Structure 1
Amino acid sequence: MLAQVRTYLGMMIQTRLSRAFQTEELILAILSQLEAFLSNRAQPVSLWKSLLCCMPSLSLLVPGSRLRMCSLQVCLRNCWDFGEENVFIVWDDSCLKDLQSWSEEHHLTIGVRLDSPLPDFHLYTDASDRGWGPTLEESQAQGLWRDLDQEESINFGELRAVEEALSCFSDQVNNNTVALFCDNVMAVSYLKKGGNKIASNKRRCTKGSSLVREPQSFSHPAILLKRWPATVDLFATRFNFRLPVYFSPLVGPMSCRMDAMLHSWDNMQVYAFPPFGLIQEVLSKLRNSINTQMTLICPFWPQRPWFPDFLDRLTEVPVFLPERKNLKQPHFHYFHRNLRMLKLAAWILSSKQPDIQDSLRQLLDNCLSV
């Protein structure tokens, strides 16, 4: 089947590749301007304005282009008083690398995907007035702000938290796509638009559509919820909620509240598929709740330090979920890569410490010996 190419609103769309590219005419036009601009460090304001007006037209179809405009915009703003346009402005060394990047034709013709990139890692970040803390899969980090940083706004803190997180986990995320989950709308918007040098070509940060780290999508939740009814889904978004009433880590039009860890679970029947790094905190909160029953989806990992507390709250025999090779991440649509390590099961827990029957203990002993 031949690739179909369509031209629409000044861009070429290749449906078979599912990519959009800039038109050849516009690429040749900006390359011509860049050649003239690089011929001499001192250029008239009119050429500066012409170049900066042409660059945004390519911003949606050239990866990282917004970021590579910043040095030119800052240089012009610092050297021109927005008066006479016949003056010459000298671009400095900070602009040279960005200008050279714009001049590379293969960079202008690489295009962008029409669908969202599949993330290799899921990074959760948060910041407060005292410090920051990220979680990448099973890895965690934290740090305190310096005195000067504490004086900045929370928006600045959230952006710095992302920067510190990427620095901490640089060995894992370099040359990979990272789904960034942040509860600050301004920070996410800023990063999506490439407005800050926190992002780089080695760390592509995109706002994922699901904040909950849920490794797969399967048909069992509906069956489990019929067997063990629940009223609230504690860790969900509008893309993967299992119950009409759910808590979401981000503001959403359909969620009843934000952040399940900040609200009472007393006298509730809840369903939870939390990020694995939060399992210990979930168990601690359940232990301090009153008259709460939880259907928890989490791995069978006896070596983890939270597993003894886990068994103390168990009221029924767990249901182990099958290792289906077609299990997929909700919305991201890619196959899970290590199902044998996952060993997912549905566990029925209670805030009251139950008296586990001998048969249940024997079954759990058999599971532990496998």
Structure 2
Amino acid sequence: MVFLTEEKIQKILSKARHLLQQSAVIVKDLASFIGSIINAFYAVLEAPLHYRQLERDKIYGLGPDLNFQNKVQLSEASRPELTWWCDNIVVKNGKAIRPRKVQFHCRTDSSLLGWGCVDVVSDRSAHGRWSIDESKYHIIFLELLAIYFALQSLYCNCTDTHIEFQCDNITAVKYVNDMGGMTSKSLDTLSAKLWQWCLKRGIFISTKHIAGKENVTSDFYSRNFSDSTEWMLMSEIFRRLRKQFFVPDIDLFASRLNKQIDRFASWFPEPGAFFNDAFSCSWQSFLPYIFPPFNLLSKVINKIVEDKVEKAIVILPYWKSQPWFPLLLPNMADFPVRLPGHKDLLTMAHDGTPHPLVKSINMVGVMLSGNPSTSGKFHQELLKSFYSHGDQELGNNMGWPGNDDASIHAKPKAFAKIMCPHPSPGDG
């Protein structure tokens, strides 16, 4: 380990406090402080992250005549850098002569469509599309963002380690290794964000450049996607369903682009995911929102029952001929709601493409429960609503018999009453 001397620490503290007390500072004094910070790089690992806003103020203050006697107003972004040095110079003093040995090697790549990464040793991978806003950035920014997403996807549970990233973009490599840069403010900001994420976990990262021809796997992942799981319910409809039923605490079949709730389970490793593969975890402690691929609905309903989920909002098509359809009614805990037939009811999150079947299918939002007492209470209230005074009380026969088109065996009109008792959330 190498350290700053006490004399150098006090010198930095004195200069930082002096600058903070001024409403406008002399450029010469600001340059002197920046010089002290650069000289501290060898002993303070995070030093490069906390001076570039001050450097920008210095350049602005110099003006066209490059006069160090000019005065400059410190920007709102630079004052926190001065404060950081006052608060952290003592506790952050000390840097290893050389970083620990690399434990993970990861290759990343970006295209204008998306990002991809693969761990060289384990072959674990992650990838995804860019959002509409992200796709507008320059490719260099996207290359750096791919490294950030790779960290969050493959190494989110790592601590106290060294990860080497291999990238085919020289600028992205330099911005990571230098902890930022002066040429591009957006790249500098993203680099700082990336490094702050790592430092909180004791992770040291380094990057090296590789030829594009060596980065074939990551390049493939950045350009090839399976969009069949990326459909998203219109956000306004989701908000109204939440008001109609309850506020869910997790989105179980989602991605970072189509999630309706901040806490979500993704199909594969992905930035921000609470966990991966919804079926690999018990749902008992959750109150989930579930919009799964239609071919998984039988498995989803059975999982709700097996895990005794108290209540779940499930989005599904009104397909009476499907084998999962008879499983719905015994586990309903409230009246279902018919969703409006808007053309953008179901869309691709990354580009807004509407679902090809949206005009030909009727979508329904239902609240299911794997707790027999919860669903049973609703069914008792349901039975009472289906007979008048003097009628014989109906038995508890609520299954769909064979190929009979009657929705509830007890009364011909019962299904219409159950499926459409309320206006659609989008009707008005």
When normalised by structure 2's length, the TM-score is 0.40
When normalised by structure 1's length, the TM-score is 0.46
